[in-house]
Chain A
């Protein structure tokens, strides 16, 4: 299993109610169901992936986070997870506010555009960066709103979103992340993981 999922699952309390937004094939859901909580739901846009999840006995709804989160009542989950998809939405700001309405807490992970390889790519080659984490070209990438770890920090403080806990992943190593080491972490890590609360 991906290191990212292990880190996410460590943030989740036993027996809490969880919604995995963009749950894909249900890998994280299955792990959480077996180890943390049976009260887990998923939302996924791809029909095939939803069918896979349902076949595995996972409770998943076909839908799009931008339109279909609105059906869930306020605070209906303890945790809402959004793994590496924030940048793909037309309106990431709206999605974040929906996550924080539906969930008491949200776990958001972002591929870091401030990672040194990304910066170097643009600086040296003068082309839009293509890396292991961001494998697409500018013309076929699903990522509309890339941001850096620092951008997300700034966004949270502007919108008065509390960052409960923040971590960074550097080559599968978990690092603590705070305003003190932000400049460095923003350069060396591929992924930012944020536990946030309104």
Chain B
């Protein structure tokens, strides 16, 4: 795509600004920064490190499960691996990477100088970062005075009473609790910041109805985060009271309730899925139109569907509890609520389809990842509908079918959109294009690996294989499927290595990007790449949802149609 644009006029001064003093100065600059772009990049970098760690954990588990009765790792080690993998991926990869992109992009997209509360922003990042470090510190200190260290092994949703001191002595569960608690504080801080920024910092002319969809979706995500993270934090504090102050909230041996924990956790846990997936939708809302060369189809419907998802997501948590014995009325209610969420989600898919329809589709690396997302999210949504039919879930719940389903969401949809976002905004963040050739290698290898792993993972679930088992019987017919699933992990690993190499290579060798390499339409592309610390030399004024379209097509501006 051609890089000419009428808005490259603003400074290419950042190259000069990038000249640093010594390493210590650089370090000090990053540690003390309150600049939303630097904080955003730190979130992303931090998340990438944890992505690699949690990915290695997944790889070790797949080696163990490749053949039945394997002894590659001990049962204790395996249980720690899946606990750490889940906790890390949700709290220290998914949330920070999405908040990182949000932090970086939101002020740029609404023409603001920074987030509403820059210091709170830095605080939120560092407190979340501490959480992740604390979680892994358990490997050294988890047993406290009981002996050598050990990571938590209670699973990422840590069902009571497995977390009670009698079943979980030592401190590994406390490290889990405290790290999740800290991450929650950071997330609430960032959510608050995004809400305030969205409501108060928009540039002149940017009414709510002209806000880029990405910002709208982050706004709704942040509102969900407010409501959803509080019960999690409350539950963690109750657990600490149980463990250290003799409380009995979840202590079933003393009359506490295991089901109470499940309610608390999933009232957080299900909205959390939407906290993670809405930013992925947000990326798709920006990337699909640009490479279809068309405005997003049905902007108001997209906003309404997002808000709808936000509300409904609060009322579906007990679909994680269909097998808990809540009774037929509760099961029927949560079946209905869960199925209803398919409607706004379907609206989104159809609007993306309509955006592509009649367009001029360019298959760049960001776009092919977005297309992978569309197909995979469709499948993930449909297996979700199957699981929402509670009797079907009585069979499939807690089986490998569920593991396959939510990895389809987390990897097939969210991670694919995160990769897409990397290829799309990397030029803005660094001033260099990423290699398209390596990008295509990354895409195809990852697609092969993804489908080998997660398509075939549904089958052992149907054949009765429960999740979280460190090994399985040889005579159940699960072995061949597990071997295929594990072999896919190899492709994904190679693809990820190519991606990381591409990130580093492009930073030094990538072609100059210029301000607007994709010929895009939102405000972040009107400033230089990377943007100067003040973002915009002059506060922009907008008259439509696509201010750069208006600039590029003064004869036919969007404002005429909105």
Answer yes or no: do A and B interact: no
